[in-house]
A and B are shown apart, each in its own frame.
Chain A
Amino acid sequence: MTALVTLEHVRFTYSGASRPALDGVSLTIAPGEVLAVAGATGAGASTLLLVATGYAPRVVGGTLTGVRAITARRCGVVFSRPWTQLTGLCSTVREEVAFGAASYGLPPGEVADAAARAMAALGIARLADRDPARLSGGELQRVVVAATLAMGPDMLALDDPAAELDPEAADALYAVLPDIAGAGTGVLLATPDLDRAARVATRVVRLEHGRVVADGTPPRGLEETTVAVIARAAGCPAPYPTDVAALRARVAR
């Protein structure tokens, strides 16, 4: 199984910055996994996403050293603010979702099919004729994910996608990620919301000051979820449970 992205000792510094945002990161991302990147703000999670998907330095500038091999044919990125990701050029959700897919010169029929499939996968077929500018944040973010999926990416990166969403919409968005990974796409998720990440992650990487300090399968890497924090404080031995069911299973009755 070929990795989608391989990073070896990658250092990345934004233009004009005095310190590197990524300082010697080595990492591989495989198809079908949901890799959660955890770390404090400024630890480099967002930058890692941009570097892994090829948007840095190409679009954002900066210097990259080390080895980066991207074998993924296409990479999609979803950011946290729904409204700035709208093209502003489409009057219906259907058009918005089809917009990215139309960038490759495929025949209109194929583009329309890809858009329909993506809308179905995100459960937004009922919004197809609505004006994107009038949707709620949660609906809009799902439109953005669908629009990115319609482009057929091998890898989908999401940078704190539920930051602006209410709890129901956030849960719905995270719930879709395992399905996307199940279809073979590699999902890369940077988020401070460890409680939700814990529900979907198949692997967790922790960053600190641009360096990888942990890389393993859950529950490793999820020591800062609410449940894990409580468990540790209440005397539970490592590894700490990350959800309520696991917590209950560890209590001796």
Chain B
Amino acid sequence: MIGYVEGRSPLHRAHPYTTLALAGAILFGAFALTRPAEVWLLVLAGAALAATGGLLRASVRTALVLSLPVWTLLFVVHGLLGGAPLVAVGPVSLSAPGVARALVLGGRVTAIVLGFLTALATIEPHRLVEAMTARGVPFGRIFLLTSTLTVLPRMRERAGHILEAQQCRGLRLGGSPVARLRALGPLAFPLILGALAEVDEQVLALDARGAGTGARRTALNPPADSTAQRALRWLLLALIVAAYAWKFWRMRG
């Protein structure tokens, strides 16, 4: 579940900047907090955000899948190979500070991933464009951001077509690791080359639609904003600043 998912949750209806602010707050907050308990409160906040978007189960599942490699690495590096004091857990001895460190780092990754999955799923690219246009952001910058949002589903679709075409030329999928490695070229190159060629065409097509004029675009249907949402965004900023101030104060003392 990576990418926009249709829905009518409060997050879907909120101004895109608000959702971005919430995800951003989780991102910056994750690095300001240094204790396992604090970081895991943030993970809960991320889960709460996903729930607000109506996506709790799907995002948690995707977040776990994405962060699993990181968790494994962290436990091996810090948990098993960390320093004293050691704690016996069954047949294995784990390093207590190591485990704490793993929990913090892993928790950060999980919180950030949850926040961003939710943001991706609840911000409709079109509304984001309108929001940014209404604020006077030049179109070039807008396109850069939104094209990264829409690139994944397109790539996935294209990858499917390429898979079919190459199979029809006798490429066998699966098999030994060597065979899989050799299959990479015929699958990856058309994907990359095709994507690059498509970008060329799209840049031209978008320029033909006036993207390069530099004039300020008319926002035709800007998403509704409210004082409450604006206040929330300022509050989040203040919280982040406070969190960092607290972090540095703790580091000094």
Residues of A within 8 A of B (CB): 55, 59-60, 76-79, 81, 84-85, 87-91, 95, 98-108, 111-112, 147-148, 151
Question: How far is A171 from B119 in the complex, measured between Cα atoms in Å?
Answer: 44
Q: List 12 A-B contacts (CB under 8 A).
A: A55-B204, A55-B208, A77-B208, A84-B198, A84-B202, A95-B221, A100-B209, A103-B210, A103-B217, A104-B213, A104-B215, A108-B219
Q: Does B93 interact with chain A (Cβ within 8 Å)? A: no
Asked if A105 and B216 sit within 8 Å, CB to CB, the answer is: yes
Q: How far is the CA of A116 from the CA of B124 in the complex (A)?
A: 24
Complex Cα spacing A106 to B219, Å: 10
Q: Which residue of A lies closest to B129 (CB)?
A: A89
| B228 / chain A contacts, CB cutoff of 8 Å | none
Q: Across the interface, which residues of B come within 8 angstroms of A112, CB to CB?
A: 220
- Most A Cβ at <10 Å: residue of B126, B150, B218, B221: B218
Which residue of A59, A91, A102 contacts B207 across the interface (Cβ within 8 Å)?
A59
Contacts A55-B204, A79-B201, A84-B201 given; does A99 touch B209 at CB 8 Å? yes
Report if B203 contacts A (CB, 8 A): yes
Q: Is there a chain A Cβ closer than 8 Å to B212's Cβ?
A: yes
Contacts of B211 in A (CB 8 A): 103
Cβ-closest chain A residue relative to B214: A103
Residues in B whose Cβ lies below 8 Å from that of A87: 206, 209
A88-B146 contact given A99-B209, A103-B209, A103-B211, CB 8 Å threshold:
yes
Q: Looking at B124, B133, B147, B202, which has the most chain A CB atoms within 10 Å of its CB?
A: B202
Q: Contacting A90 at CB < 8 Å: which of B126, B203, B212?
A: B126
Interchain CB contact under 8 A, B204 and A79: yes
Q: Given A59-B212, A103-B211, does the pair A89, B146 have CB atoms closer than 8 Å? A: yes
Residue of B nearest to A88 (CB): B150
Contacts of B217 in A (CB 8 A): 102-103, 105
- The answer to the question of B40 belonging to the interface, with a C-beta cut-off of 8 Å to chain A, is no
When C-beta atoms are compared, the residue in chain A nearest to B200 turns out to be: A60
Q: Which among A76, A87, A100 has the highest number of chain B CB atoms within 10 Å?
A: A87
Contacting pair B208 A95 (CB below 8 A): no
Say whether A151 contacts B204, CB under 8 Å: no
Contact call B204/A77, Cβ cutoff below 8 A: yes
Q: In chain A, what residue has the closest Cβ to B199?
A: A84
In the bound complex, how far is the Cα of B220 from the Cα of A87, in angstroms? 15
A79 to B205, CA, bound (A): 8
User: In the complex the two chains form, is B220's CB within 8 Å of A108's CB?
Assistant: yes
Known: A105-B218, A111-B220; 4 extra A-B contacts, CB below 8 A, are: A87-B209, A102-B220, A104-B210, A107-B218
Q: How far is the CB of B227 from chain A (nearest CB, A)?
A: 23
Shortest Cβ gap from B189 to chain A (Å):
20
A131 CB, nearest partner CB in chain B, Å: 11
Q: Give CA–CA (A87, B198) in the complex, Å.
A: 13
What are the interface flags for B59-96 relative to A under an 8 Å C-beta threshold, 1 for contact and 0 otherwise?
Answer: 00000000000000000000000000000000000000
Q: Are the CB atoms of B218 and A88 closer together than 8 Å?
A: no
Q: How far is the CA of A99 from the CA of B150 in the complex (A)?
A: 18
Closest 7 pairs (CB-CB, A-B): A103-B210, A100-B209, A85-B205, A102-B218, A84-B201, A77-B208, A105-B216
CB distance from A188 to the nearest CB of B (A): 13
Q: Tell me, yes or no, whether B116 is within 8 Å of chain A by CB.
A: no
- Cβ-defined contact, B125 with A88, below 8 A: yes
B132 vs chain A, min Cβ distance (A): 11
CA–CA, A108 to B134, complex, Å? 12
B215 — which chain A residues lie within 8 A by C-beta? 103-105
B218 to chain A: which residues have CB within 8 Å? 102, 104-108, 111
What is the distance, in angstroms, from A142's C-beta to the closest C-beta of chain B?
Answer: 15
**Bound: A59/B211 CA distance, A:** 12
CB contact between A91 and one of B124, B204, B206, B208 (< 8 Å): that residue:
B124
Task: Give CA–CA (A90, B204) in the complex, Å.
Answer: 18
Say whether A100 contacts B210, CB under 8 Å. Answer: yes
Give the residue among A81, A102, A103 with the most B Cβ atoms within 10 A: A103
Query: Could you mark each residue 34-76 of chain B with 1 if its beta carbon is under 8 Å from any beta carbon of chain A, else 0?
Result: 0000000000000000000000000000000000000000000
Neighbouring B residues of A90 by C-beta, 8 Å: 126
Q: Tell me, rounded to whole Å, the shortest Cβ–Cβ distance linking A65 to chain B.
A: 22
A81 to B202: give the CA distance in the assembly, Å.
10
Given A103-B215, A147-B209, A81 and B126 contact (CB-CB distance below 8 Å): no
Which chain B residue shows the least CB distance to A148?
B208
Give chain B nearest CB distance to A161 CB in angstroms. Answer: 13
